[in-house]
C-alpha cells in the first residue's frame, strides 16, 4: 500500500513539473508608471502632477483660468 501511494505521489509530482515547464509563460504585466510629484492648486485645491501644473510666484495652478483668476491683470 505504501508503494502504491509513493508511486502515485511520484507520478503527480512528475505530471506537475511537466505541466509547469511545457506551458507558455504568462505575459508579465506592464511596469507601473513612475509616480510624479503632486502640487496643490492655489485657487481650487485640486492636486495635479507638477509636470502639468502652472507656476507663478511659488504658487501652483491646475489651469490657466485659475492662474488668471488668482492674479487679475493690473488696472491702468
Q: Hey, where are the domains in the chain?
A: 36-76
The residue among 66 and 27 whose pLDDT is bigger is 66
Confidence at residue 73, expressed as pLDDT on a 0 to 100 scale: 63
Q: How many CB atoms within 10 Å of residue 64?
A: 9
pLDDT tens profile 51-71: 999 998 889 999 999 998 877
52's CB contacts (< 8 A; 6+ apart) are 62
The whole-angstrom separation of Cα 38 and Cα 61 is: 11
pTM: 0.51
Amino acid at each position: 500500500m505504501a508503494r502504491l501511494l509513493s508511486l502515485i505521489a511520484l507520478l503527480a509530482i512528475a505530471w506537475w513539473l511537466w505541466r509547469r515547464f511545457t506551458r507558455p509563460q504568462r505575459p508579465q504585466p506592464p511596469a507601473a508608471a513612475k509616480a510624479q510629484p503632486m502640487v496643490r492648486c492655489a485657487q481650487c485645491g485640486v492636486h495635479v502632477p507638477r509636470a502639468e501644473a502652472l507656476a507663478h510666484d511659488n504658487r501652483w495652478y491646475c489651469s490657466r483660468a485659475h492662474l488668471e483668476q488668482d492674479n487679475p491683470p493690473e488696472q491702468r
